[in-house]
């Protein structure tokens, strides 16, 4: 994305500062309020720096998506790799929601997803940026299905898409609901997950979980 292929340390710092400012602008104003001007104002730098380092506002937003996706997924990877039931998967999603909602990270992502409608570059860039997440979720789902007789009937790719969609949809709605910050559907989803877990296990083991 950058015109420089081997950026010097100082350029790295500048780029990080611009990415921070873009994330702040997204959190504060949503995608509709994000422009080179608002980002530059948030970071206190000249907007020309955005075009020099990222080529375009879209290029910058893709860099934001990539960095945040890598950081957050690295943070949750250990927990996801230990998941052995649907209930635990919902538990990680709940923790991710609780911890990230206040930070505004996921809100920034849903904002970028919405912004991608008008821009092919943004759509492809964000789709690629989501990859560390979708890989982690797919691995978890494959592990959960491995011990059940349902692995054949249910496509892990489709289940990964459904789980990702559910999580993003909850973030989108939680931001909207006047009571959303206090109220999420996670506790009922945990109850439903526990029920499905019991049914996914071989008959004899159903009461162990």
Residues that bind a second copy (CB under 8 A): 28-34, 107, 110-111, 113-119, 123-124, 126-127, 150, 153-155, 157-159, 161-162, 164-170, 172-173, 175-178, 184-185, 187-189, 191-192, 195-196, 199
- Give least dist CB 116 to a second copy, A: 5
Nearer to a second copy, 48 or 173 (CB): 173
- Give least dist CB 10 to a second copy, A: 32
Nearest alpha carbon to residue 72 among 102, 104, 101, 96: 96
Nearer to a second copy, 4 or 183 (CB): 183
* CA distance linking residue 10 with residue 131, whole number of Å: 28
23 CB-contact burial (10 Å; exposed 0-12 / middle 13-18 / buried 19+) = buried
**Rg of the chain's alpha carbons, rounded to an integer?**
20
Nearer to a second copy, 82 or 157 (CB): 157
Nearer to a second copy, 95 or 124 (CB): 124
64, 108 contact by CB (below 8 A): yes
Nearer to a second copy, 4 or 37 (CB): 37
- Give least dist CB 189 to a second copy, A: 6
Nearest alpha carbon to residue 141 among 151, 131, 149: 151
- Give least dist CB 75 to a second copy, A: 22
Nearer to a second copy, 19 or 61 (CB): 61
171, 106 contact by CB (below 8 A): yes
167, 92 contact by CB (below 8 A): no
Q: Tell me the two tokens of residue 29.
A: 């104003």
Q: Tell me the two tokens of residue 194.
A: 């526990």
User: Which residues are CB-neighbours of 12 under 8 A, at least 6 positions away?
Assistant: none
């Amino acid at each position: 994305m950058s015109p420089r292929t081997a950026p010097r340390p100082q350029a790295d710092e500048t780029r990080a500062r611009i990415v921070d400012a873009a994330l702040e602008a997204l959190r504060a104003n949503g995608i509709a309020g994000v422009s080179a001007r608002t980002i530059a104002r948030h970071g206190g730098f000249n907007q020309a720096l955005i075009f020099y380092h990222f080529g375009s506002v879209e290029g910058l937003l893709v860099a934001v998506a990539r960095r945040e996706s890598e950081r957050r997924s690295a943070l949750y990877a250990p927990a996801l790799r230990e998941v052995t039931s649907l209930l635990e998967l919902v538990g990680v999603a709940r923790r991710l929601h609780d911890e990230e909602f206040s930070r505004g990270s996921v809100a920034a992502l849903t904002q970028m997803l919405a912004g991608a409608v008008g821009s092919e570059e943004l759509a492809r860039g964000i789709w690629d940026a989501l990859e560390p997440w979708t890989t982690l979720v797919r691995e978890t789902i494959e592990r959960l299905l491995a011990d059940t007789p349902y692995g054949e009937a249910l496509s892990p790719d489709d289940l990964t898409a459904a789980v990702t969609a559910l999580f993003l949809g909850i973030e989108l709605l939680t931001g909207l609901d006047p009571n959303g910050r206090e109220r999420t559907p996670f506790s009922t989803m945990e109850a439903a997950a526990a029920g499905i877990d019991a049914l996914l296990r071989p008959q004899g083991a159903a009461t162990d979980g």
